């Protein structure tokens, strides 16, 4: 059983960040506007990397803003109990973030032209990343070992519920409205191509040297040095409970240092079963 969590519609949600009232408001009453851009993801998929990239694109690569304003004020979370009101009153165009699964997402989004950037990452690397964050919780019951945590992840007994449900739910919606699917692995393999794709999606024209600045200022090392990029360290609520850094390793394939061969094979089988309705060619990690 997890502490630091509340259950909402059957899903464990992080009570550090949110509460029932905020979650109800998010879904039923939060008004998404046509000129909004929303980054959506399952936890530990590289959300903060995409936030940094979109923030930098907004200011043509100039790092001043990202180096002086904490990341969660630049791009607030829709389900954040402290910042939801600020978001409601913000003038557009707004850049917002959310880990909400599709069934808890603001209903108003589905009738408007707002843009969603959905970032996906190999779930084996997500489990690995999340395992290290869980071990960095001060008071939460820590996982006994990797195997126990893997089983919890598979059951969806983690914040925001099952990765499979989150991913399937959002991918099913990708043909409606403006939706850009970005992969963490693709971002790493081809940062320039990915940034260009994002610019095109946003309708933003950057000069080649401005794209260089975006890439340089959102690199793992630049973000690791920028305290403003570490949500855990900058947010008073999180400071108290999480001692893990937001940026840990920033690589693809670290799962190989954690999964046994049997665990990996079982997970692949489960992945194929659960994701069978999707084209396997969609995922760059196969
Ligand atoms: S959170 O807390 O759920 O919002 O986490 P999220 O931002 O989605 O994901 C954190 C992981 O993304 C990695 N990250 C990066 N990797 C490469 N380059 C850059 N610039 C970058 N920024 C963040 C971060 O290190 C976490 O992954 P792990 O594997 O734990 O290192």
Per-residue pLDDT tens digits for 80-131: 999 999 999 999 899 999 999 999 999 999 999 999 999 999 999 999 999 9
Residue 139's pLDDT band, with cuts at 50, 70 and 90, is: low
Residue length of the chain: 286
Mutate to test the pocket of ligand 1, among 40, 42, 46, 121 (most ligand atoms within 8 A of CB): 46
The CB of 43 under 6 Å from ligand 1? The reply is: yes
- ipTM of the complex, rounded to two decimals: 0.99
The CB of 248 under 6 Å from ligand 1? The reply is: yes
Mean pLDDT of 264-276: 96
Q: pTM of the predicted model, to two decimals?
A: 0.96
Using the mean position of ligand 1's atoms as its centre, give its distance from the Cα of residue 43 in Å: 9
Give the largest Cα separation in the chain, rounded.
52
Helix (H, G, I), strand (E, B) or coil at 104: helix
Using the mean position of ligand 1's atoms as its centre, give its distance from the Cα of residue 139 in Å: 22
Q: Which atom of ligand 1 is nearest to the CA of 41?
A: 8
- Is 99 an active-site residue? yes
The residue whose CA has the least distance to atom 2 of ligand 1 is 44
The catalytically annotated residue of 48, 58, 82, 99 is 99
The answer to whether the Cα torsion of 150, 244, 122, 103 is positive or negative is positive
pLDDT(207) > 50: yes
The CB of 252 under 6 Å from ligand 1? The reply is: no
Residue 176's pLDDT band, with cuts at 50, 70 and 90, is: confident
| Distances in whole angstroms, Cα of residue 97 to Cα of each of 55, 115, 260, 268 | 12, 12, 34, 29
Give pLDDT tens digits for 254-266: 999 999 999 999 9
The CB of 229 under 6 Å from ligand 1? The reply is: no
Q: Which atom of ligand 1 is nearest to the CA of 248?
A: 31
Q: What are phi and psi of 86, to 5 degrees?
A: -60, -40
Candidates 185, 188, 208, 211; CA nearest to 198 is 211
The CB of 247 under 6 Å from ligand 1? The reply is: yes
The residue whose CA has the least distance to atom 26 of ligand 1 is 247
The CB of 84 under 6 Å from ligand 1? The reply is: no
The CB of 226 under 6 Å from ligand 1? The reply is: no
Which residues are within 8 A (CB) of 206 and not within 5 positions of it... i.e. 6 or more apart?
57, 60, 61, 195, 199, 214
Mutate to test the pocket of ligand 1, among 121, 166, 250, 259 (most ligand atoms within 8 A of CB): 250
- Are 84 and 25 spatial neighbours (Cβ–Cβ below 8 Å)? yes
């Amino acid at each position: 059983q997890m502490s630091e969590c509340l259950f909402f519609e059957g899903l464990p949600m992080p009570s550090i960040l949110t509460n029932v009232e905020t979650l109800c408001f998010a879904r039923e009453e939060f008004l998404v506007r046509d000129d909004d851009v929303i980054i959506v993801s399952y936890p530990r998929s590289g959300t903060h990397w995409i936030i940094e990239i979109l923030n930098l694109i907004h200011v043509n690569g100039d790092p001043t803003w990202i180096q002086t304003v904490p990341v969660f004020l630049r791009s607030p979370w829709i389900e954040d109990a402290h910042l939801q009101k600020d978001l409601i009153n913000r003038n557009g165009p707004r850049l917002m973030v959310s880990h909400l699964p599709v069934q808890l997402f603001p209903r108003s989004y589905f009738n408007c032209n707002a843009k969603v950037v959905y970032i996906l990452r190999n779930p084996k690397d997500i489990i690995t990343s999340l395992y290290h964050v869980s071990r960095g919780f001060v008071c939460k019951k820590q996982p006994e070992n990797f195997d126990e945590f893997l089983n919890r992840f598979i059951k969806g007994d983690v914040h925001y519920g099952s990765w499979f449900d989150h991913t399937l739910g959002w991918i099913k919606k990708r043909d409606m409205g403006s939706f850009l699917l970005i992969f963490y692995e693709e971002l790493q393999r081809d940062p320039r191509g990915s940034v260009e794709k994002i610019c095109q999606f946003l309708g933003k024209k950057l000069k080649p040297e401005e794209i260089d600045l975006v890439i340089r200022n959102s690199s793992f090392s630049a973000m690791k040095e920028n305290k403003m990029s570490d949500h855990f360290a900058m947010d008073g609520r999180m400071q108290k409970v999480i001692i893990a850094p937001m940026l840990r390793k920033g690589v693809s394939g670290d799962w190989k240092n954690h999964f046994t061969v049997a665990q990996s094979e079982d997970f692949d089988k489960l992945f194929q079963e659960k994701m069978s309705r999707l084209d396997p060619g969609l995922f760059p990690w196969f």
